[in-house]
Structures are given as C-alpha cells and as structure tokens.
Structure 1
Amino acid sequence: MGEPSRESFALRLRRAMDQFTPSERQLAATLLADYPAAGLQSSVRLAEIAGVSTPTIVRMARKLGYDGFTAMQEVMRQEVSEQVKKPASKHAEWHARGSDRHTVNQFGDLVSANLRATLDALDLSTFDQVAALLSDTQRSVLIAGGRITRTLADHLHNHLHILRPGVSQMGTSAHLWPHALLDLGPGSILVLFDIRRYQSDYPLIAELAQKRGAEIVLFTDQWGSPVSSHANHVFAANVEALTSWDSTMTLMFLVEALIAEVSNRLWSVSRKRVDELEDMFDCLGTFGGGHDNGGA
C-alpha cells in the first residue's frame, strides 16, 4: 500500500511563497486565486493572465522541484482527477491493490500515515492563530459542514458552545443559509469543513461572508477545497482510506486539538459557564441517577 501524497500542489505553493521573487509570488497568487483552472491553461496564457513572463513560470516550477511547467501542470491534472473521484471509483481502486493483511491492520497503517503526513505539513502558527480567534469571545462563530463532514462541524460546535457564547451552526436547509450569513460582520469567524467531492455552494458562501468582514477558517483535504482561495486560515489533512469514502479521522484530530487549546485559553472565564451547564444537567436529570424529579 503506497503512502498518501504528503502535500497538495496548492499547499506546496503556499509554503514556498517566501522563496519566490516578486514576479513568482504574483504568479503563485494567480494560480491560487483560480486553482486549479488557472494552472491547466497553456504557459503562454497563464503568463498573460498573471502578468509575468513564461521564463518566470519555468523558474517557479523548478523551485518547486519540477523539471518545468509541463511536469508541474501534470501534477495539477492528477489532483483534479483525485478531487472528483466518485465512491465507486475509489472502492475499485483500493480493491484492485489487494492485500492478505486484515482490514483493521491496513486501515490502522493508513490512518497512522495520514496523521503523520498531516502533522508534518501542519503550520503551528496557523493553529495558534485560529485558536486565538476562536478564544476571542467578542467574535461570533458560525460553523458549517458538508454531507460527510457535518459530524465534524457538530463536534466543534457542541464543544465551543459549552466553552463560550456566540457560537452557532449553519443549518442543512440552503433556504436558511442567508439568515445565518446575515448575522456575520467584521470580526466574525466562519468555519467551513469541505473535502472532496467539494460542496459547490461553499465558495460563494465564503465570498459572501468575506464581503461582510468575516474571517474564513477552512478544514479541507490534501488536495484543497475551492474555498481555499477565499480562506484566511487553512487546515489541510490527508483523508485517503480503504473505503469508497474518505476518512475524517485526521480532521477530527485537528478539531479535538483546537478544542483542547481553546479550552485551556478560556478556562479562567469559561469555568463558570461549564459549572452552570452542569447544574442544569443535574436539575433536569439529563444523565440519570443524580436527581429526584418526584416521579413514582
């Protein structure tokens, strides 16, 4: 079983920004603003759009470790193919690899490799910045997840809502999304979870939120959601699995780590809130055994 790709092209491009000349940074920004479509055009057309020379494209490709533009473009083409894979295609691919090892052992190895690759690529300064944002109780937080990632959004919402006020979740009905976006403003935070096959409406949602002054935090896969071009902060996790669907375990790890950090940062002020919540649980007998509600 091959090890998952460690970094998407878009993530590699972001990480290399400091190495680039001004014209190369201009080219990189053009690629990221319309990724991956911009990179799938001819080098002449890309140079024209970015306002740089074609030799600049070749130099940047070589700085990223490619032989030239053609090799760099082929990586982008492969990523597009990976992004749009349907469940049946992924199942057939994994089944064709074959293995005598038990599924539990194969899955354990893959999840471990995913987690290691995710941690190797994780920018700790991004983690700290997002933890600080989520710990700022003057900022409202709106959280949304897609068909598969909604459980992650639920988990983050449930814990943040215990620790601090001003946390809400975008509902599943698209008709109500404008209501949720209406309350966003300067200083608000929109947290989106989006992995392949990406939510087609999320880029527009992110754009609308940004126009209202919100900061966008994105949790995505190693290939990168189209929302990446709008996001202020991006967490990219390796998600490949042995099934027809991607694994969200590495994303859950990042969510749990953020919850732990926010809890540590807010504990001096959130302790009272947590205690009040526990008192309500006891009063209602939510968890059983601790309250006599006068029943027979």
Structure 2
Amino acid sequence: MLVRDLIEAHKADLTPAERRLVPYIKDDSLAIELKSITKLAEAADVSTPTVIRFARKLGFDGFPDMQNAIRTELAERIKQPLAKFETKLGAEHERHIVNRFTMHVVENVNRTMNQLDYELFDRVAALLADTDNKIYLRGGKISQASAFHFFNHLQIIRPNVSMLGASPSVWPQTLLDMDDRSVLILFDIRRYEQELERLASLASSQGAKIVLFTDQWGSPIEGIADHCFRAMVEAPSSWDSTIAINLLVEAMIAQIQILSPDKSSKRIREMENMIGVTEIFRKA
C-alpha cells in the first residue's frame, strides 16, 4: 500500500501533532525524501519522537523505513520513459511483446477492479447523467486521448459537454462560466501536470465538482478532487498504459446510458437526423 493510502487508513488514529506531518509527506514527498528526521520535525513544528511514532502508526519500523518507502514511490512516479524501457530490455526476447503486454494489461485491469469503489462509480455516473450539469473535460499530454474518448461519447448521449482547449491561455473564458452545476473531468497520470492541478483549483473555487482519473500513485489533484478513480498503468513499454482507465471510462458511458435511456436514445436519433441533413451540404 502507498504511504498516502496508509495515512488515509490510519487518519483517525493520528494525534494533532502527528497530523501536522501529513502535508509534508502526502503533498510534498520530494521534500521529505531530502530531509533528515530533525529537519522534518522542525518543518512541521513537532518533536522527533512524534515523527517516529507517526511512522510506526503507519506500520513502518521507524523513520528510515518510511523514508525508503517514499523514495521508492518517488522513483516510480518520476521515472523517465527511456529509463522504464531500459529496465525491461533484459527480458526482451523471453516472450513476444504482444503476450507480455497483454499479461500486464490483464493484471492492470484486475487490480483496478479489485480496488474500485462501486458506490463511488454509481454516484459519479448519476452526476454525469444529470443533464442539468455542464460537463468539461481535459487531460494531459498522454491522457488527453482518454479525455477525448470520454468527450466524444458523452456529447453523443447528452448535451452541455465541452472539451477545454489545449492552450491554458483559453481556459479563463471557460472557467468564468463554471458554477455549482458544473463538473470538470480531468485525466492526470505520471508525470503529473501542474497546469491541470491549477485548472482543478480554479474550477473548484468556482463551485465546480472535480472528477479525477489517475494512476495507482495518485495525481496531486486528488487533494482537490471531489471524486477520484485510480487505475493501474504499468506496462512493458516506454509508456504507461491507459487501457484500465479507458475501461472505467467506457463502463461509465454504459452506466450513464442505462440511467437515461430515453434521453440518450432521443439525442442519438436527433443527431443521426442532423448528420443526414448536413450530408447535403457536404455533397454540395
């Protein structure tokens, strides 16, 4: 289990002094990775025994054990694509890439489904099925493909769905229109993108609800998001796999249609008619 997940699991057991350590560990892991126990204690304004007790409550033998776990997580989060590829070269000829990739994807899907909160899934589907809500989407450099996939289906089955432009310079106009009937869906996997975190913060300040799709380590946007889905992304490739994320997306699309069968069917028929009409202009 990740350190941030251990914190959530033991949150109720933490003393007020121990809770002061949480921001330095959960939201600023790079800082703690470079700190000694003394410097960490000073930064959080707690005693060194408090740091040790905190680590032990999470299940670690002490501060060094917790620090090593954080270092390992950080190494996975910031691993460059080339470095990922090089770690796999030794086994390149053991099995064909198609089979190895398939095995990883199946494992990713199984692990994603094992940790899925089905009640959360249903709540988000209901939120997105409500046509009184305006939906906005955006992803990162790699995850934008998943965002567009979701957008392409949502706009077919319901109105008021928009994809934010690629340039952050055009986002303020859209942010001005967001309110408590808005939902911003974001896709952010490692290496996490600060522009998306800033977008989430601004949208939230406007009253919008934030739905996040991220990887197993968790984007920093989790601290802002109202609803979050984690999916496994590791693959025998230079790049992370978004197949498990897309599975959640397509299942969500199916559930939205189930919740609003008449409205979605009516919209699809109207769209097909519109396509038929616009064909006249294409041929002209």
2:29 counterpart of 1:36: yes
Higher helix share: 2
Shift of 1:254: 1.0
2:146 counterpart of 1:152: yes
Shift of 1:133: 1.7
The secondary structure found in structure 1 opposite 2:136 is strand
- Separation in 1 of the partners of 2:77 and 2:261? 40
Higher normalized contact order (CA 8 Å, seq sep 6+, divided by chain length): 1
Q: Are the counterparts in 1 of residues 168 and 195 from structure 2 also a CA contact under 8 Å?
A: no
Shift of 1:253: 0.7
TM-score (norm 2): 0.87
The secondary structure found in structure 2 opposite 1:201 is helix
Question: Structure 1 residues 159 and 71 mapped into 2: Cα distance closer, same or farther (>3 Å)?
Answer: same
The secondary structure found in structure 2 opposite 1:168 is strand
Shift of 1:245: 0.8
Question: Structure 1 residues 269 and 174 mapped into 2: Cα distance closer, same or farther (>3 Å)?
Answer: same
2:61 counterpart of 1:67: yes
Shift of 1:14: 3.0
2:239 counterpart of 1:249: no
Shift of 1:66: 2.2
- Separation in 2 of the partners of 1:242 and 1:165? 39
The secondary structure found in structure 2 opposite 1:182 is helix
Structure 2: runs of 5+ lacking an equivalent: none
Aligned match for 1:88, one of 72, 82, 88: 82
Tell me the residue number matched to 1:228: 222
Equivalent residue pairs, number: 283
- Separation in 2 of the partners of 1:164 and 1:204? 27
Shift of 1:194: 0.9
- Separation in 2 of the partners of 1:262 and 1:220? 20
Q: Are the counterparts in 1 of residues 140 and 188 from structure 2 also a CA contact under 8 Å?
A: yes
2:248 counterpart of 1:260: no
Q: Are the counterparts in 2 of residues 193 and 220 from structure 1 also a CA contact under 8 Å?
A: yes
* CA-based RMSD: 2.7
Q: How does 1:41-52 map to 2 (within 5 A)?
A: 41-47=35-41, 50=44
- Separation in 2 of the partners of 1:224 and 1:275? 39
Q: Are the counterparts in 1 of residues 140 and 196 from structure 2 also a CA contact under 8 Å?
A: no
Shift of 1:235: 1.2
Shift of 1:109: 0.9
Question: Structure 1 residues 156 and 18 mapped into 2: Cα distance closer, same or farther (>3 Å)?
Answer: farther
2:273 counterpart of 1:279: yes
Structure 1: runs of 5+ lacking an equivalent: 1-6, 286-291
Shift of 1:56: 4.6
Q: How does 1:1-296 map to 2 (within 5 A)?
A: 7-17=1-11, 27-28=21-22, 31-32=25-26, 34-37=27-30, 39-40=32-33, 41-47=35-41, 50=44, 54-285=48-279
Shift of 1:26: 5.7
User: Is the deviation greater in 120-129 or in 162-171?
Assistant: 120-129
User: Is the deviation greater in 139-148 or in 58-67?
Assistant: 58-67
- Separation in 2 of the partners of 1:265 and 1:53? 53
Shift of 1:173: 1.9
- Separation in 1 of the partners of 2:197 and 2:236? 29
Shift of 1:246: 0.7
Question: Structure 1 residues 177 and 129 mapped into 2: Cα distance closer, same or farther (>3 Å)?
Answer: same
The secondary structure found in structure 1 opposite 2:241 is coil
The secondary structure found in structure 1 opposite 2:212 is strand
TM-score (norm 1): 0.84
- Separation in 2 of the partners of 1:212 and 1:144? 17
Shift of 1:171: 0.9
User: Is the deviation greater in 242-251 or in 113-122?
Assistant: 113-122
Q: Are the counterparts in 2 of residues 35 and 229 from structure 1 also a CA contact under 8 Å?
A: no
